[in-house]
Amino acid sequence: MADPNSSMNPSPTPPPGWSMDPKDLDYEDDWVAEDGCGTMLAAKYKLERCTPIMIRLDPHNDVVLFESGGKFYLYSQMTGAFSQIIVPDTLDEIIAVMKGERRRKNLVQKAIT
C-alpha cells in the first residue's frame, strides 16, 4: 500500500545555484508586504498574485522565478529585467531545462516592458 503521506508529484529540486528556501526568497518582505517587489510587480503589470518559486542567489544579480496566473516569469531584483517564460510552460520542464536535463538548451522568454 502506498504511503498516504507521500506525494505523487514531489516538489522539484532547484538547479545548482538556485534556492527554494522561503528565507532566501524573502517571502514576507518581498512578496507579501504592500511595498514588496512582488506586490509592486503585480500592480504595475496587472498580474494576478505573484508566487515566488526560487531564487538564484548572486551577489551581483539575484534573479527570481515566480508564477502568476499559471504563467512563469523571471525577474532580476538588481537590474529590473523582467520576462515571461514562454517555452517550456510547466515548472518541472523549466527546471529540467535549467538543469540541462532536456534536449532544449534555453528557455524561450518574452521581455516585459
Query: What does the block give as the cell for 21?
Result: 528556501
Question: What pLDDT, in 10s, does the model give residues 14-51?
Answer: 999 999 999 999 989 999 999 998 899 999 999 999 99
Measure the CA–CA gap between 15 and 98, rounded to whole angstroms: 6
Distance of CA 52 to the CA centre of its chain: 5
Contact predicate 18/98, CB 8 Å: yes
Measure the CA–CA gap between 20 and 76, rounded to whole angstroms: 16
**Residue 3 pLDDT class (50, 70, 90 cuts):** very low
Whole-model pTM: value is 0.86
Measure the CA–CA gap between 71 and 65, rounded to whole angstroms: 11
**Residue 61 pLDDT class (50, 70, 90 cuts):** confident
For residue 54, is pLDDT > 80? yes
